[in-house]
């Protein structure tokens, strides 16, 4: 991997991992709906500007926009809302760890929804990962019960991502439009949906201090920049190597949570996180091995990477 690719990979992991810290700061003066809407509107506006500069046309047709709406809900609006809501009771570090569950949730998602089977190693990685989640949550402990709803919300956000990735190839990748145009369209349509569905929450008073406004702007800009970086990385080094940014992201979140917000991780959380990270390492090793034999399809556009390659059903 060239030096430019390494820098882009580190920058991408830093942007994704710092989002949890920015959400935590923004919650000090805004509610989850306002955070998600600001991120969608600003990120979508920047990507739309990139489309204009690159002379990329937005999709046409109600059926295409219906698909984009579904992907915008599953891949952006809903998981972002769940994480922002969950972080009212969950630390920055824990939110980042739960986000890393996405690749491990991909196997049961594609099996349940698409009836595609995974390898034995993938099954082991998923079972190991979800065992780590149980240890991480420790629902039997008194100190965990107060934050259990927030933890479940973050876990639900990770599952939303997994569902979005599973359906992306079938819903979006065959449309024939520019990835930048499709990503901008998803953000725009999801932002409009937020305006309609969460209007009462959006109209609630905010405390627009410098830190809150700075966090909201940083998240919106970061959303657009992360997509463009990821798009470039996939073209430069391939989806598997670009996917390393996703595996590095929780480490960034934990480091920022402990270093900036003073997060304290209990023993069961450290053990659970270690098991989850071990399962992620196993999943990445499996993906790397399979990439030597299986042609890698181009994934759908969004500020995401291909996290797991699945074998055809049967």
Domain-wise residue ranges, the chain: 1-291
28-41 tens-digit pLDDT: 999 999 999 999 99
pLDDT in the model for residue 109: 78
Record the tokens describing residue 219, joined without a space. Answer: 């998240």
For residue 259, pLDDT over 80 is answered with: yes
d(CA 282, CA 28): 38
d(CA 33, CA 306): 27
Q: Region 155-177: what's the mean pLDDT?
A: 80
Contacts of 258 (CB under 8 A, 6+ apart): 93, 264, 265
Cα–Cα–Cα angle for 101, 78, 63, nearest 5°?
115
Q: What's the mean per-residue pLDDT of the chain?
A: 84
Record the tokens describing residue 167, joined without a space. Answer: 């359906």
Phi, psi of 31 (to 5 degrees): -95, 170
For residue 116, pLDDT over 50 is answered with: yes
d(CA 28, CA 145): 23
pLDDT in the model for residue 171: 67
pLDDT confidence band for 169 (50 / 70 / 90): low
């Amino acid at each position: 991997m060239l030096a430019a690719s390494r820098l882009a990979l580190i920058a991408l992991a830093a942007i994704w991992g710092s989002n949890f810290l920015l959400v935590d700061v923004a919650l000090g003066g805004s509610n989850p709906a306002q955070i998600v809407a600001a991120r969608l509107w600003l990120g979508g506006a920047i990507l739309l500007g990139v489309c204009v500069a690159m002379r990329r046309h937005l999709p046409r047709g109600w059926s295409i926009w219906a698909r984009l709406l579904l992907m915008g809900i599953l891949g952006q609006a809903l998981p972002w809302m769940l994480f922002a809501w969950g972080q009212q009771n969950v630390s920055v570090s824990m939110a980042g760890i739960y986000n890393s569950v996405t690749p491990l949730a991909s196997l049961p998602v594609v099996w349940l929804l698409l009836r595609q089977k995974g390898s034995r190693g993938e099954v082991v990685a998923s079972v190991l990962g979800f065992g780590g989640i149980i240890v991480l949550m420790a629902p039997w402990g008194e100190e965990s019960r107060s934050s259990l709803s927030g933890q479940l919300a973050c876990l639900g956000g990770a599952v939303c991502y997994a569902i979005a990735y599973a359906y992306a190839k079938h819903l979006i990748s065959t449309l024939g439009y520019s990835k930048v145009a499709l990503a901008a369209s998803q953000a725009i349509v999801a932002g409009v949906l937020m305006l309609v569905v969460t209007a009462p929450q959006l109209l609630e008073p905010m405390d627009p201090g410098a830190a809150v406004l700075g966090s909201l702007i940083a998240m919106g800009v970061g959303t657009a920049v992360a997509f463009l970086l990821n798009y470039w990385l996939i073209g430069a080094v391939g989806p598997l190597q670009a996917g390393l940014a996703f595996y590095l992201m929780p480490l960034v979140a934990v480091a920022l949570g402990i270093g900036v917000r003073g997060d304290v991780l209990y023993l069961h959380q450290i053990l659970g996180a270690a098991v989850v990270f071990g399962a992620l390492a196993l999943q990445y090793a499996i993906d790397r091995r399979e990439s030597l034999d299986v042609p890698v399809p181009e994934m759908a556009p969004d500020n995401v990477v291909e996290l797991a390659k699945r074998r055809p059903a049967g």
